[in-house]
Amino acid sequence: MSEYRKKANSLLKQFLVWRAKHIKDRQFIYILSVVTGLLSGLAAVVIKNTVHLVEILLTEGISGVHSFLYFVYPLVGILLSVAFVLFVIRKPVGHGIPNALYAISRGNGNIHKRDTWTSVVTSALTVGLGGSVGLEGPTVATSAALGSNLGQRFKMTRKTKVLLIACASSGALSAIFNAPVAAIVFALEVIMIDLTAVSLAPVLLASISAVLTSRLFLGEETLFHFNLSDPFIVGDTLFYVLLGVVCGLLSVYFTRVYFFVEKYMQKISNKLWRAILGGAIVGGLIFLMPQLYGEGYGLINALIEGDEEKALIGTFLKTIGENAWSIILFLAVLVLVKAFATSVTLQSGGVGGIFAPTLFMGTTVGYLYAKFFRESGIADLSSSNFTLVAMGGMMAGILHAPLTGVFLIAEITGGYELFLPLMITAAIAFITVKYGVKNSVYTMQLAKRGDLLTHHKDQAVLTLMNLKEEIEQDFVKVHPYDKLEGLVKAVADSSRNLFPVVDEDNTFLGVITLNDIRQIMFDRDQYDKVLVHELMTSAPEYIYYTDSMESVMNKFDRSGAWNLPVIDADNHYVGFVSKSKLFSGYRSRLKDFYDEDD
């Protein structure tokens, strides 16, 4: 194996030399983006087929929809996923899209090569055995890892690796939904890359090559497809506005349930016990409501087609089609429970995504919304139109991706008949959810740590900066009971006009500047009388070693200082950060990140 690796590395070096001479960087990026798209398409095909094969093998032939196996499978799936992570790979499997976002903001565009396959195995165990989550997250995680490793293999810059992660994410969604335009919008809106001439062409190429790869293996088969039969009625506009509010409120509910479950599941320190508890809860919910099993595209397709009997098969409802209010009540409960089932699946150790649950909730709420108004005699609303529009509204709310929701549903329906109501509902849902939660499930934890990259250029550049790189440590330290004579000697030996005062344990006590001693530094009569602690002053602000760069800049703004001390959690002195060095680093990052290549 060692000889094989040496030979492979030698060939790679030869290729890189040849490439540098014959292929320009821009052209090579185009080639890599096509390869990334092909790999993303293959990843989508492999994950989808693997999970569906597991699901068919386990569920085909089950007698009775309330079979005890519906309780057992999710428990076993989550437990196997956790055991695989703990005892086989022994490293956590990052959640798909947050993992890609972290690699962009803090990982220098690098994702570990094990992530190219771990999500395939764990998602097959989780979703294939009924975990109430989707495959989009694991597919994006796998594709992003493939794109990143491709960039690492060919020694590409950070900017190019980030672009390949965006290409991979776009390719993954394009292959899954057969929607290349929506996938490109997703890369711009969720993955947070800027739309420039440099980034647009590679993402386009990746999206196209991924969808062609998917079609090559799967044909024209898609997760769902619908041809509109009901036109948009202007008189229904207010109902679409109200639907947007409903979607926004449900999105707030989903996000809060997700982090509520996370908070309490994390209190169980033993991961195997956590998996057993979570698996039992999910299994129990699926036993009562089989629609929660796996991704839920069966219910999605049934409700889009208006087939209530197919959608509600296995429920406790005995008079489907006769008692409309029972159906409405069941669908309302199903929406609320789906958020909980998805959250428990993920927080107990299962691997999956929230994209499919978002569509599940959107389909369900849209259908029951239209049915409610029809049965109330208030308005005769189109079930298919409101079902589809609600899917876009929930994507706008839960994923904080209104444009992705609009374009995805537009592509799924094969036209732009619903474009206006989609825009109305998505916009209202997005505005509503922003009042309740500032960040999506994808970005909440990253934002809390200051690791979230956004389209806000100042904030994005600050996120990319690293506090550790900005700390200066060439300051001469003095002690509180040093005499003025020793301080003057320190001034003579230092090229700085700032002196941190620390005790014998290196605890930061204060600071002395040259201006503080200018009046007495040449008065030799004071050399043995004046002590350092009599001259020192407190710092106007303290920067902690764990502060985000945004927090650091805010402290400089508040204090008006030109230099601020950096201390650790135990108040030990680390160094100083200067405003001039920060500005220099900011300009450098801004130029590196936003300048287009030739």
CATH number at residue 94: 1.10.3080.10
Among 167, 186, 218, identify where a domain stops.
218
Could you give the percent of the chain with pLDDT greater than 70?
Answer: 86
55-59, 176-180, 432-436, range with the lowest pLDDT: 55-59
pLDDT at residue 319, as a whole number: 46
Average pLDDT value for residue range 384-388: 91
Q: Please report which confidence band the pLDDT of residue 40 belongs to, taking 50, 70 and 90 as the band edges.
A: very high
b/e per residue 74-104 (b: at least 16 CB within 10 A): bbbbbbbbbebbeeeeeeebbbbbbbbbbbb
pTM of the full structure: 0.78
Indicate the pLDDT class of residue 200, thresholds 50, 70 and 90. Answer: confident
Q: Which residue has tokens 């090569």?
A: 113
In a domain, 329, yes or no: yes
Residue 451 banded pLDDT, cuts 50, 70, 90: very low
**pLDDT above 80 for 391:** yes
Quote the domain boundaries for residue 56: 12-218
Q: Which residue has the tokens 């929660």?
A: 292
Q: Look at residue 364 and tell me whether its pLDDT is greater than 90.
A: yes
Beta carbons of 351 and 50 less than 8 angstroms apart: no
| Pairing mode of beta strands 543-544, 563-567 | parallel
Identify the band that residue 454 occupies on the pLDDT scale cut at 50, 70 and 90: very low
What CATH number does the domain containing 506 carry?
3.10.580.10
488 plus 380 within the same structural domain: no
pLDDT top residue among 90 and 246: 246
**Residues contacting residue 319 through CB under 8 Å, at least 6 positions apart:** 326
CB 206 within 8 A of CB 33: yes
Domain assignment present for 380: yes
- Domains in the chain: how many in total? 3
CA dist 144 and 167 (Å) reads: 8
The reply to whether 127 falls in a domain is yes
Which has more confidence, 490 or 35? Answer: 35
Q: What is the mean pLDDT of the chain?
A: 82
pLDDT: which is higher, 103 or 24: 24
- What would the pLDDT profile of 117-144 be if each residue is shown by its tens digit? 888 899 889 998 989 998 888 899 899 9
SS (H, E, C) 431-462: HHHHHHCCCCCCCHHHHHHCCCCCCCHHHHHH
Q: Judge whether 144 lies within some domain.
A: yes
pLDDT classification of 596: cutoffs 50, 70, 90:
very low
User: Are 313 and 266 members of one domain?
Assistant: yes
**CA–CA distance from 324 to each of 50, 121, 303, 371 (Å)?**
38, 42, 14, 8
CA-based nearest residue to 122, from 408, 345, 443, 446: 345
The answer to whether residue 3 is domain-embedded is no
Residues 281-295 have pLDDT tens digits of: 999 999 888 889 888
Same domain, 425 and 500: no
CA atoms of 528 and 168, how far apart (whole Å): 69
Between 402-412 and 419-436, two packed helices, what is the crossing angle to 10 degrees? 150
pLDDT (average), residues 65-90: 85
Beta-ladder partners of 512: 499
| Interval 464-521: pLDDT, tens | 566 677 788 888 888 888 888 888 887 887 778 788 888 888 888 888 888 777 778 7
Does 141 reside within a domain? yes
